[in-house]
A and B are shown apart, each in its own frame.
Chain A
């Protein structure tokens, strides 16, 4: 199969999401890189027929395909694997196959379909019962099954839109193996991601998008420095190398025995200086997020933080930031101003809208939030929502509890978020964050808690650790 994309353009109002993109692929795994808002999703949606481009053509094996028709794209063998599996969580796997496959006949021989699916499963080394419920599987397994479903429907070109953001290491390994196998069989794969290490691992070629334009095509061996500078060229890009003064006051973390791994001999009380950043490392599905939440709500165990001197910590001293921004963090139908009202009015009966407005304007500027005060939160981009959450941090000396603070953000946005968080080292008691990204843990933590399953496997200062050790701990190896 050969796909040629010629002069593809698409704008939304004044925004040019894709500008004259040309690309030609006939085999292999091709990476699509670019920062948030570079136009990757638009491009992918056009190819898969979900969006109609303003101009341009897509030619498959010498024939023009009907643009903007998902049906035609599927017919021509284009399959899209979404970021989150779009399946029916309460059907069994066989049932969701029956719904999702491309069969015209009203009556089907289920036995035949079953055999065909099992054949594909066997071919790609998938060992999952067809009768098991979709919601009993991990996200990685569901994505694998979605891949098989695309193959069943005869996909020759598979697009993966940031597929690994919810995977554990083990799941990632399995999906990557499947992908390599598919590629060897001649199926073209377009892999959209911001994670360079993954791209280096499986892709042979790639294209970099920036502000809607395809600015560079790259081939193996990749040069990561060059790629990063191309991706983020002209966007202000710096990593702060500020040194923070050591503080003298200390706080203690008292760890409940039930949270510790049985064989791990550790003191139950750990003492750290104010302003320490504690990274809680764990794989997807481990209870690293739960540990963070527990400090705020005490619902899972007795692990808690106490100050050694001065007033004991009150609930207002904690600032908890959940990983899912709109589900548990913010109010999607409230506007920005009302969020500040909610956070400022904690102790007051009456609202002074003048003061609230002033504070809101200050915070929006300080945290570089691109939005009007009257925009409701659901209208903001993920990065802006995250900045709103950060801007709602109380001004008083706090314990920050951040669940995956940069989830779903690109490299540059994530750096900016971290700059804002590290700014608080001077004033806050402690900054606890959880992450599944070991590089992030390594980069920003002073102290690292490694969690596997729902147990803490290790607690150490970063100086006494190596990255490899952390990976071993979070994988459950001691």
Chain B
């Protein structure tokens, strides 16, 4: 079922997009080569940099995967940020409990992250299905509630001894950090989880009736009844799955990136993931790759200031140019034209 044509088209589009970014950077009077070189060096140049990139990639890729489910069911899951945040709260809850000192802690944290994130997703779904509240409004609302809860916890019940600051909770006990191999910081457990979830989702979305029912729910809710299933149920499923996966992204942020709970724990990665899934048109391979590209941009971008004396807001410009030109190219379909030209040259 691998769609090679789609891959070809996406690759060409990627090249064109990079081309546009090049020119945008030149307009700003910046050398694109230097920028890209330093981004790549900053994100992949050494083992520790690569690991940092992986730590950033983990929540983005998980959030993207989560969104593939809800987008399939036709739902704009803006609440993804809240689901990530609540996942982090679930993980922190375990890390701060008596379990936090034991090596089993990360595994229990995942369970709680899944539980918290899943329930937060379920809230949006129930509001949609039972209360007929549009998912964009409920999602946005629940995002605010979730970040409110985090701040309350940080300056309230979970505040550091003697200090009430929004800088975050105490660092977790080392046992509660995401396990790494030996002396390296390589987050093996996280990578295994991501690969497993991507593989599993590939199977679910392509080879199960759940997958095709989610997709049909997304296209026409009114026709599902005729095929003997209730679209409402599948909307709820999609949110439960998405919330659970987003919860793991929150766990990765709390126990992998910060080792504590901070107010902006989601890092805006949920919103970024929405862009990624939009760009990839819910394609699972491409979301995987794109989320990695975006994490390279984010990690490498933080090096720009040090190496080139550029403000790292330039990364924002690159990201935005990327998304906008991608969407425009998708609309005008030049890739098909180029692909036809190429195949004509090769067939001669």
- Residues on A close to B: CB < 8 A? 296-297, 315-316, 320-322, 326-334, 338, 341-343, 345-346, 348-351, 353
Contacts and interface: CB of A to CB of B under 8 A. Distances in A.
B44 interface: no
B226 interface: yes
B227 interface: yes
Given A350-B209, A351-B211, 17 more contacts: A326-B220, A327-B222, A328-B222, A330-B220, A331-B220, A332-B220, A334-B216, A334-B219, A341-B209, A342-B212, A342-B216, A343-B227, A349-B209, A349-B210, A350-B207, A351-B208, A353-B1
A332 B227 contact: no
B213 interface: yes
29 contacts: A296-B226, A315-B228, A316-B228, A321-B226, A326-B220, A327-B222, A328-B222, A329-B226, A331-B219, A331-B220, A331-B223, A332-B220, A334-B216, A334-B219, A338-B212, A338-B216, A341-B209, A341-B212, A342-B209, A342-B216, A343-B227, A346-B209, A346-B227, A346-B229, A349-B208, A349-B210, A350-B209, A351-B207, A353-B1
A331 B229 CA distance: 14
Given A349-B208, A349-B210, A330 B1 contact: no
A291 B271 CA distance: 47
Contact of B219 (A333, A341, A343, A346): A333
B282 to A, nearest CB: 12
Contacts of A345: 209, 212
A316 B222 CA distance: 17
B215 interface: yes
A349 B204 CA distance: 9
Give the size range of B's interface with the partner.
Answer: 20 to 34
B219 A351 contact: no
Given A330-B220, A334-B219, A322 B208 contact: no
Given A315-B228, A350-B207, A351-B207, A328 B212 contact: no
A328 B223 contact: yes
Given A331-B220, A353-B1, A297 B209 contact: no
A351 B228 contact: no
Nearest to A329: B223
B161 interface: no
A320 B222 CA distance: 12
Contacts of A348: 209
Interface string B166-208: 0000000000000000000000000000000000000000111
Given A327-B222, A328-B222, A332-B220, A342 B213 contact: yes
**Residue from the set B1, B223, B227 with the largest chain A CB neighbour count within 10 Å:** B223
Interface in B201-247: 206-213, 215-216, 219-220, 222-223, 225-229
B226 A320 contact: yes
Contacts of A330: 220, 223
